[in-house]
Structure 1
């Protein structure tokens, strides 16, 4: 967990403690507050929240403000929560209602972006996925996260986002590690169709598709995938969460990583050759 994130969570905890100690009818102990809050609340939970070892959700913040007699403080608490959750968005919370809302949230970010810069090391990015490939990827993620199943709605939302590939004035700079062309996150026949799609989009005037081959000399290792939106924000995926980073230093770091990896990438006919080689490897022997 990032230092900035933890510091923000601790700051929220200090504010919660302040509210508990300044109740209009006198300060409350942690045990007293837990009793007022009711089912699901314990002295231990109160302590964890106040010490930044657990994060309250919006409903818990409202209940805290109400129980301490500071309901007017709720908007400020919520603003603090939204402030640091905009940096680390846990999959558990994002997927509470399924994958479709997550797809729609990222679509809003796409809609305001003119230049999207992408690095992916293990998957074909959503912008270039076939519906069947997307279906398998989303299903596997839902299985892992044990989230509600709204796969078809999520697939449709993801595919609709690809309309941007045909919109003049947009630029998609997509770069893949060759491993993404071989990852069997779906049946071989589905991956074959996905690779055919990649070959088919090479040459679009809105798309720059580069492949970093296994045989390329690398100046930096091909780490996590990330998406850079107009050099104003970076979204990085990890197993526990997405990181949404909008400070200038982070954006500059990820741009530097992308540009360094690009030195090892091939484009045009050379990229087609790498994709076709991966495609042929799927043929039965």
Structure 2
């Protein structure tokens, strides 16, 4: 995933270097350009080498400084193109978690059928408010971002109304590890386990649990969501990826169906959840 992001940055960097070389007044050195821009010269080389992501303001300044202001729209289109698919957490969370949740709400609201796989956390659509609050706090601490926790939780809870609309279907797969991971106090996790146990059997929810001892045909890697067989949303530590090409969507659905072969449902899923709950009570 980071490879796609890096390739996109490098391609933009190569175009920036090309513009520096072809400045109307003659080729500029990196140092000369940095002086014109009032930047440390290292920023010029980081942008050209794909080691730093440009902002729209950076691209505007670059185009003006190399005497080719008319190239800004092209450069900015390149930036928007890869950032619409590869959404860095640094940028997304600059205004807090609430805007990210609102974007998810729009995407989910348009979907009729969702397939989800989570290996480490309970899927957001099934979370309690208390559990979601602790997840947001953990990530705010990790990324050093604005703590708009209450607003983010409210937005995530709003999204769950989708589950109570006719004609919708949420196919969720959860690894047993997610039932046991203490990303929140034990009492909060107990409440969360009670919640998902009660969601088994809902008309709109099909919840499968992959036991820790189950044989897996593929490794239990990153969580991902497939919306209506048209959009995949997945994430890595640096960014969230929104992928909509048909080949990629088909691949993720194939992975989901492969993982599903290891899952248990109904009473068997309840047993796995109850086992995790009993382990918490013993602790």
TM-score class, shorter-chain normalisation, is over 0.9
Q: Deviations over 1:220-240 (max 9, x none)?
A: 221111111112221222222
- Relative distance call for 1:211 and 1:78 in structure 2 (3 A) is same
Question: Structure 1 residue 157: deviation in Å?
Answer: 0.8
Question: Structure 1 residue 189: deviation in Å?
Answer: 0.8
- Comparing 111-120 with 129-138, which one deviates more in the overlay? 111-120
Q: Deviations over 1:11-55 (max 9, x none)?
A: 2122212332333444432212111212xx122221221232322
In structure 2, what is the equivalent of residue 91 of structure 1? 89
- Any runs of at least 4 consecutive aligned residues in structure 1 with deviations exceeding 4 A, and if so which? none
Question: Structure 1 residue 164: deviation in Å?
Answer: 0.3
1:22 aligned onto 2:22: yes
In structure 1, what is the equivalent of residue 6 of structure 2? 6
Alignment of 1:167-182 (within 5 A): 167-182=165-180
Q: How high is the TM-score relative to the length of structure 1? A: 0.93
In structure 2, what is the equivalent of residue 34 of structure 1? 34
Q: Which runs of 5+ in 1 are unaligned?
A: none
In structure 1, what is the equivalent of residue 228 of structure 2? 230
Q: Secondary structure at the match of 1:116?
A: strand
Q: How high is the TM-score relative to the length of structure 2? A: 0.93
Question: Structure 1 residue 153: deviation in Å?
Answer: 0.8
Q: Deviations over 1:142-179 (max 9, x none)?
A: 11111111111111111111110011121111010011
Given candidates 111, 116, 128, the residue that maps to 2:109 is 111
Contact 1:12 1:80 in 2 (8 A): yes
Q: Deviations over 1:170-194 (max 9, x none)?
A: 1111010011111111111101111
RMSD, matched Cα: 1.7
- Comparing 188-197 with 60-69, which one deviates more in the overlay? 60-69
* Aligned equivalents of 1:241, 1:211: Cα separation in 2: 27
- Relative distance call for 1:217 and 1:7 in structure 2 (3 A) is closer
Q: Which runs of 5+ in 2 are unaligned?
A: none
In structure 1, what is the equivalent of residue 182 of structure 2? 184
In structure 2, what is the equivalent of residue 281 of structure 1? 279
Given candidates 45, 61, 64, the residue that maps to 1:66 is 64
Question: Structure 1 residue 196: deviation in Å?
Answer: 0.8
Question: Structure 1 residue 217: deviation in Å?
Answer: 2.4
- Comparing 226-235 with 114-123, which one deviates more in the overlay? 226-235
Alignment of 1:159-170 (within 5 A): 159-170=157-168
In structure 1, what is the equivalent of residue 98 of structure 2? 100
